[in-house]
Amino acid sequence: MRAALAVQDNQHEQIRNFMTGFSLETTPGSAAKIPDFREHVRLGDSVYITFLHGADFNDTIRVAGRLRREGFNPVPHIAARSLPSRAFLEEGLRRLRDEAAVTQVLLIGGAVAEPLGEFGDTMQVLATGLLDKYGVTRIGVAGHPEGSPDIPDEAIKQALCWKNDFARRSDAEFYLVTQFCFEPEPIIRWDRLIQAEGNTLPIHIGIPGLATVKTLLAHAKACGIGPSMRVVARQAMNVAKLLTVAAPDKLVAALASYQASHPACGIRRAHVYPLGGLKKSAEWSYAVADGNFWVHPDGKGFSLDAAT
C-alpha cells in the first residue's frame, strides 16, 4: 500500500512539474469577449496571439498592447506566408515594440497555399535580421510531431536543421512550439528522432485544452492533426459523447512520465490551446500546476480535486 502511494506521489510531482510555466493563447476575436484577462490568467504569464490568414494584423497589435497593459507577456504569431512585404513586417515589429513592448514572438509559416508577398517560409524572415533590430529576444518556431499537410517531411527536417544552426549563431533564445496532439506516442517518437538528427531547441508541447469532443474533432480536422486524431474520432463515433467535455489528463500524465524518466529529452513545458474557451482551460491548467488533483490508481490519468 505504501509503495503504491509513493508511486502516486511521484507521478503527482511529475505532472505538476510538467505543467509548471505553461502558456496559453487567444485569438483577437476571443480576446474581445474577455473583459479582463486578469480574471483568468496570472500576472506575468505568457499569452500567445494567433494570426490567421486574412485577419487584420492591427488587431494582433491591439491585443498585444492590451495584454501588456494588463500585466502579461504578449507573444504574437507572425505568419511568414501571410506577410505582404518586408516593409509590412518591419512596421508591424516596430509597432509591437513601441505599443506593446513585445520581446517574444512565435514565427510560423502559415497554412497558405501561395505566399501573399515575398516570404515563402520563416527562414527568409529570420534572415532579414528585423527581429533582432526590433528587440525580439525570444523566438518560437514551429515543431511538427505528426508532420504537416502543407510541408514534405524532408523539407521539415532541413528547415529544423537550418533553424538549429541559425539559433547557434543568434543572440536570441529559440525554442519549438508544436501543434496539439491527442496521444503521447507520436510526440515521444518525434522528440527522439529530432534529437538523433541534432535538434537542441527546447520543445513547448501543444496540449489541447478543455473542450467538447465535437469541438476537438473540428479543430483537429481544420489543423490537419495526424495519426493521434483517431483517439477523438473513436469518441466522436458515439453520438452521446459528442458534447462531453474532454480533459487532456492521460496525455499530460504520459508526457510528464516521459519527461521525468528521460531528463535529456527536448520537452520543457506545455503550451495549452484553449479550444473550448480560455476560462475553462486556464482554470484546469492552473489547478494542475498548483497540484490540486489526484492521480488515478492505474497511473494513466488524473482528476481535479472536488473543491477545485
- What angle, 0 to 180 degrees and rounded to 10, lies between the N-to-C axes of helices 2-19 and 249-261? 100
Backbone angles phi, psi at 303, to 5 degrees: -135, 150
pLDDT digits (tens, 9 = 90+) for 13-61: 999 999 999 999 999 999 999 999 999 999 999 999 998 878 899 999 9
- Give the CA distances from residue 236 to residues 111, 192, 221, in Å, rounded to whole numbers and listed in that order: 26, 31, 13
- For residue 213, give the amino acid letter: V
Phi and psi at residue 269, in whole multiples of 5°? -155, 180
- Work out the end-to-end distance of the chain between its first and last CA atoms, rounded to an integer number of angstroms: 27
Over the stretch 129-173, which tens digit does the pLDDT of each residue have?
A: 999 999 999 999 999 998 877 788 899 999 999 999 999 999 999
Q: Are 145 and 190 in contact (CB under 8 A)?
A: yes
* pLDDT tens digits along 81-128: 999 999 999 999 999 999 999 999 999 998 787 899 999 999 999 999
Q: What is the pTM assigned to this prediction?
A: 0.91
Residue labelled with grid coordinates 479582463 = 36
What is the rounded average pLDDT of the residues 220-249? 60
Other C-beta atoms closer than 10 Å to the C-beta of 263 total 6
Which of the 8 DSSP states describes residue 241? G
Residue with cell 487532456: 248
Chain CA centroid to CA 32, Å: 21
User: Which of the four pLDDT bands, split at 50, 70 and 90, describes residue 6?
Assistant: low
Phi, psi (deg, nearest 5) at residue 220: -60, -45
Q: What one-character-per-residue DSSP string does 173-231 give?
A: EEEEEEEE-S-HHHHHHHHHHHHHTT--S-EEEEEE-SEEHHHHHHHHHHHT--TTHHH
How large is the angle between the packed helices 2-19 and 278-289, nearest 10 degrees? 130
- What are the grid coordinates assigned to 73, written together? 507577456
The DSSP code sequence of 37-55 is GGGTS-TT-EEEE---TTS
Q: Give start and end residues of each alpha helix (H) in 101-179.
A: 122-127, 130-133, 153-169
In this structure, are strands 211-212 and 245-246 parallel, antiparallel, or unpaired? antiparallel
77 bridge partner residues: 106
- Cβ proximity of 93 and 131 under 8 Å: yes
CA separation for the pair 195, 177 (Å, rounded): 15
Summarised one tens digit per residue, pLDDT across range 255-267 is: 999 999 999 999 9
For residues 12 and 295, the answer to whether their CB atoms sit within 8 Å is yes
Q: Which helix (H) or strand (E) holds 260?
A: helix 249-261
| Residue among 290, 282, 216 at smallest CA distance from 25 | 282
Domains, the chain, ordered by start: 2-210+247-300 (3.20.20.220)
138 vs 106: CA distance, rounded Å: 9
The amino acid that residue 283 corresponds to is E
Contact 55, 102 (CB under 8 A): no
By the 8 A CB rule, do 276 and 211 touch?
yes
